[in-house]
A and B are shown apart, each in its own frame.
Chain A
Amino acid sequence: MAKFVGAFGASHGPLIAREWESMPEAPKKRLGKAFRELGRRLSAVRPDVLIEVSPDHWVNFFINNLPSVCIGVGEQHDGPPEPFLKDFARSLPGHPGLAMHIVTTALANDFEPSISHHLTLDHGFCIPLLRMELPQLPQIIPMVINDLEPPMPSIRRCLAWGRLLARAIASYPENLRVAILATGGLSHSIGEPTMGDIDEPFDRACIAAFTTGDDASVIDALEAGLKTTGNGGHEVRNWVVAHGAAGSRGFDLVDYFPVPEVYVGCAFAAWTVPDAVKAAA
């Protein structure tokens, strides 16, 4: 049977790639260290498959057809279209078997995801993979959450999706090691009058909620905070999926610091997943 071996979260942002060479040394060094530490922890649990939870930044979907949740079931996914990531990967391997099992498990449990047999994975998916400097990319199952255009899935629903992912992994018959990586957040503001602001109180509230692990705290803190923070903060939904999958047992914050150079409150974390601890020992 497949085994759920770890859940992780990392911020992303185009400038973490586009402006990397010109970034001041201090934030660049700290960001690089945090990404590499997360990469080390991810590599330590030896995943065969990585379920990546990220938004689509208007690459695959538009408002004429905008899924709340889409699972990528293809054998391959196209690499990032952004010119500043052209050297990363032209394509990334998928895992259609587990991906379709997640979809059928979802449908059997009254969840209705969209599916795609061919997704393009933009910077949200690829910047963490790039900066974590993984020795080898696992097979990727993309899970796209609509974090960009209202209305968006509720925090409660994202938690439920996480639980569903854990059940789907545990019921997949192939002997696979499966990890989850949530990308995006924490606070940032793009293309709106608060652009450039980083909402550190919101970020600290998210971190506190994930640390305690209590579902009610996570739902209350995030639903309240998302009403006033910048639009990029909505990507914390992806973290909620990982939190739910890991069983809401709290997480280990690898690092958090506001990075005005990339407009993002950048956070990096690994959730407590008992099997993962055993596997890495």
Chain B
Amino acid sequence: MTDYWLSKLFFDLQDKTAAAEYRSERSKVLDRYPLLPEIRAAVLANDIAVLAPRVNAYLLRYYFQVVGMPDAEFIGRVRALKPAAQASATKRANG
């Protein structure tokens, strides 16, 4: 299920000014988005398993680039998602 506000956060952070603010004041930026508490916690914890099924995969990748996660680490973490998350992501990608 797509989470609109999570997606909006990731989309907005493509702007370099917004991204810089986010890197320095993450909570302040998150306050502007009506995220469910468990989603906000997952964002703060970089919990890819929770976030991946709720947002477009390209936006997920952009987001982790914004927060400075190297590609190799991101790939390792996204590939390690358990089968349930993989099935969900595949379903999203293929409509």
Contacts and interface: CB of A to CB of B under 8 A. Distances in A.
Interface of A: 57-59, 62-64, 81, 148-152, 190-196, 226-228, 230-231, 234
Contacts of B89: 192-193
Given A57-B58, A191-B78, 6 more contacts: A63-B4, A192-B52, A192-B57, A193-B89, A195-B75, A196-B75
Contact of B62 (A58, A63, A234): A58
Given A149-B56, A191-B61, A193-B85, A230 B93 contact: yes
A195 B92 CA distance: 15
Contact of B93 (A57, A63, A64, A192): A192
Query: Chain A: interface secondary structure?
Result: loop
Contact of B94 (A63, A191, A196, A227): A227
Nearest to B8: A62
A150 B52 contact: no
A191 B58 contact: yes
B11 A231 contact: no
Interface string B12-47: 001000000000000000000000000000000000
B94 A226 contact: yes
- Across chains A and B, which 3 residue pairs bring their CB atoms closest together, nearest first? A150-B95, A191-B57, A191-B61
B93 A234 contact: yes
Interface of B: 2, 4, 7-8, 11, 14, 52, 56-62, 74-75, 78-81, 85-86, 89-90, 92-95
A231 B95 contact: no
A81 B17 CA distance: 13
Nearest to A82: B14
Contacts of B11: 58, 62
A196 B58 contact: no
Contacts of A81: 14
A193 B87 CA distance: 9
A231 B14 CA distance: 20
A186 B48 CA distance: 26
Nearest to B81: A193
A150 B92 contact: yes
Contacts of A148: 56, 58
A152 B58 contact: no
Contact of B57 (A64, A151, A227, A231): A231
A193 B78 contact: yes
A116 to B, nearest CB: 17
Contacts of B80: 193
B11 to A, nearest CB: 5
Most chain B CB atoms below 10 A, which of A62, A148, A226, A227: A62
Most chain B CB atoms below 10 A, which of A57, A148, A192, A227: A192
Nearest to B87: A193
B58 A190 contact: yes
Given A57-B58, A191-B57, A196 B79 contact: yes
B56 A195 contact: no
A150 B88 CA distance: 13
A81 B11 CA distance: 14
Contacts of B14: 58-59, 81
Contacts of B56: 58, 63, 148-149, 191
A234 B58 CA distance: 13
A228 B7 CA distance: 24
B57 to A, nearest CB: 3
